[in-house]
Amino acid sequence: MDVSMSALWRLLLLNSLVFGIEICAAAGFTFVPPLLLKSGMEDSQMSLVLGIGPFLALFLVPAIGATSDQCQSRLGRRRPFILILSAGICLSLIFIPYGELIGNTLGGKPYATLILTFGVVLLDCCTQACFTPMEALLADIYGNTDLSESSFLVYTFMVSAGGCVGYLLTAIDWEYSLLALWMGGQEQAVFLLLFLLFAGSLCVTVFTANEKVSGERDSQLTFTPNRRCRICDFVPRTCLQSVVAFTRLIPKGLTNSIEAPFVLRRLQVAHFFMWAALFCYTMFFSDFVGEEVYQGRPHALVGSDERKLYDEGVRMGSFGLLIQCVMAAVFSICLDTVVKRIGEKNTLQLSMALFTIAMTLLMFVKTPLMVVMMSSLTGFASAAANSLPYTLVGTYHEQREIFFAFDSPTESLRSSGIGVHMAALDSSYFLAQIMLSALMGYIVHITHSVTTYITCAALLGVLACFSLTRIVVTEEDLQTIRASRVSPRSQVKRSSLGKSHMTIPMEIF
């Protein structure tokens, strides 16, 4: 990256919140599956709980994207939504570690399980949703500038760095530390650190961002008065009206995601399979290592050898995910060079090919050393998936007259800003997580083996490699698609009456 030190420093500060979100996501969701299993849930119930958050985000994020594009707050277009979602993250970081204490105070184990579940759903939904306004914020500030691509490479680096810190926190045994003794347990100690780190990163980003404020509009968009939303400027007497206005935008946001431009729909399919493969690995990896590699059992009695082996395996799984994030941070620095040599499409395909090889080897060789080695291979896929698709969306948006030429100029397309397009891409991300959360628990229950997690990750990696061959990266790709759609038979034909007829090829997306 050819970036000056001052610009790089500003990019790092602006992406501080991404760093904090990923710390919470990495550390929180390493602890969450074991916490849910220890609370008495089965694998199928645990996976369903993990699917509720992205399911809610699937509906909320398109509305957030559409609303933030039109927002006229004094804080800007994106920061108000970032603050609201960050408040939800902070609340969840209190409910998860203290859910049992609060539940027992209210009335016993059912309340404790309910509060733990609510905290998990809130953390998952808010962390997933908060990435979208951050991505749109970067596009707002650095779109159509020389730093457009570099901004998302730094974004990827900060995501990976946050994951490193998050997984490092979970890989450490805090049980006998002074902080754990003071807070009442290792989960409580870790979640306190998460709260402090997240709050600090939020303050840095909010005060660093210099975004569009009320009265400044994106000249590329067509605005209509009935779509303006001042949800973030509300005062107590208009709070309810603002919530109602936002709720009405949810169907509109979903429609914008479904009616995404042709090139974005192809990218959405590839993005779905990429993240389905990555989620199949990251969401269930600690459980796989604890049960299959270390031969432990999460439902064993506290203090038993099987329970100790499982907890040790969870820490090793966290260490493997830490290695993935370290390698992703390293690859994010080199990603620009790789893209310049082989292009975005080949870079994405190479990253998923390495991921598929890593999962295949891990299916057959289940040792701690293999866990570390294969985790390092997956770092390239994580770096590519977190950066290149969003860079492509920015390219599509900046060159609308080229990449949206396949689509009829509907009102939805004319009024869709970068926030809507980022939300449309993130919808694939959420769908991938929802699908895995809904199905993987039952698949493991049927197969009676947690190795199924890794097997499915390998199969999804193959599908991702295939779907990436169809994405549109350059104008030449569009010309190739146009040429393939013009059938050799689409020529003027003479009927028996001497009249000419034109065969029109079907537009198949």
Q: Which pLDDT tens digit goes with each residue over 38-77?
A: 777 876 777 778 888 888 888 888 888 778 877 777 788 8
Q: Which has the higher per-residue pLDDT, 375 or 221?
A: 375
| Domains of the chain: total | 1
The pTM of the full predicted model, rounded to 2 decimals, is: 0.71
- Answer for the pair 383, 351: CB distance below 8 angstroms, yes or no: yes
Note the pLDDT of residue 485.
63
Note the pLDDT of residue 303.
76
Would 422 be classed as within a structural domain? yes
Note the pLDDT of residue 498.
42
Q: At 27, which amino acid appears?
A: A
Residues in the chain, total: 509
Would 503 be classed as within a structural domain? no
The rounded distance, in Å, linking the Cα atoms of 27 and 170 is: 6
- Answer for the pair 278, 355: CB distance below 8 angstroms, yes or no: yes
* pLDDT of 179 above 90: no
The pLDDT tens digits of the residues spanning 87-102 come to 999 999 999 888 878 8
Would 457 be classed as within a structural domain? yes
Would 389 be classed as within a structural domain? yes
The rounded distance, in Å, linking the Cα atoms of 284 and 317 is: 9
Note the pLDDT of residue 123.
93
CATH number of the domain within which 138 lies: 1.20.1250.20
The rounded distance, in Å, linking the Cα atoms of 235 and 230 is: 10
Note the pLDDT of residue 271.
93
Would 496 be classed as within a structural domain? no
Region 391-398 average pLDDT: 84
Would 487 be classed as within a structural domain? no
Note the pLDDT of residue 3.
65
Q: Are strands 500-502 and 492-494 parallel, antiparallel or unpaired?
A: antiparallel
* pLDDT of 284 above 90: no
How sure is the predictor about 176, in pLDDT bands with cuts at 50, 70 and 90? Answer: confident
Note the pLDDT of residue 183.
82
- Answer for the pair 209, 21: CB distance below 8 angstroms, yes or no: no
The rounded distance, in Å, linking the Cα atoms of 384 and 114 is: 37
How sure is the predictor about 2, in pLDDT bands with cuts at 50, 70 and 90? Answer: low
How sure is the predictor about 23, in pLDDT bands with cuts at 50, 70 and 90? Answer: very high
Q: Which has the higher per-residue pLDDT, 101 or 274?
A: 274
* pLDDT of 79 above 80: yes
Note the pLDDT of residue 442.
79
Least confident of 83-97, 110-124, 323-337, 409-423: 409-423
Q: At 451, which amino acid appears?
A: T
* pLDDT of 281 above 80: yes
The rounded distance, in Å, linking the Cα atoms of 273 and 158 is: 23
Region 310-339 average pLDDT: 86
Burial of 499 (0-12, 13-18, 19+ CB in 10 A): exposed
Would 509 be classed as within a structural domain? no
Beta-bridge partners for 93: none
Q: Which has the higher per-residue pLDDT, 238 or 466?
A: 466
Q: Which has the higher per-residue pLDDT, 402 or 454?
A: 454
* pLDDT of 216 above 50: no
The rounded distance, in Å, linking the Cα atoms of 94 and 57 is: 21
Note the pLDDT of residue 506.
35
Note the pLDDT of residue 238.
39
Region 240-265 average pLDDT: 60
Domain extent for 437 = 5-214+235-481
* pLDDT of 436 above 80: yes
Region 479-499 average pLDDT: 54
The pLDDT tens digits of the residues spanning 108-125 come to 778 888 898 999 999 989
DSSP character string of 388-429: HHHHHHHHHHHTHHHHTTTS---HHHHH--HHHHHHHHHHHH
* pLDDT of 194 above 70: yes
Q: Which has the higher per-residue pLDDT, 14 or 171?
A: 14
**Average pLDDT of the residues of the chain:** 79
How sure is the predictor about 422, in pLDDT bands with cuts at 50, 70 and 90? Answer: confident
Region 144-160 average pLDDT: 80
* pLDDT of 274 above 90: yes
The rounded distance, in Å, linking the Cα atoms of 53 and 64 is: 15
How sure is the predictor about 393, in pLDDT bands with cuts at 50, 70 and 90? Answer: confident
Would 264 be classed as within a structural domain? yes
Note the pLDDT of residue 227.
40
DSSP character string of 343-391: -HHHHHHHHHHHHHHHHHHHHH---HHHHHHHHHHHHHHHHHHHHHHHH
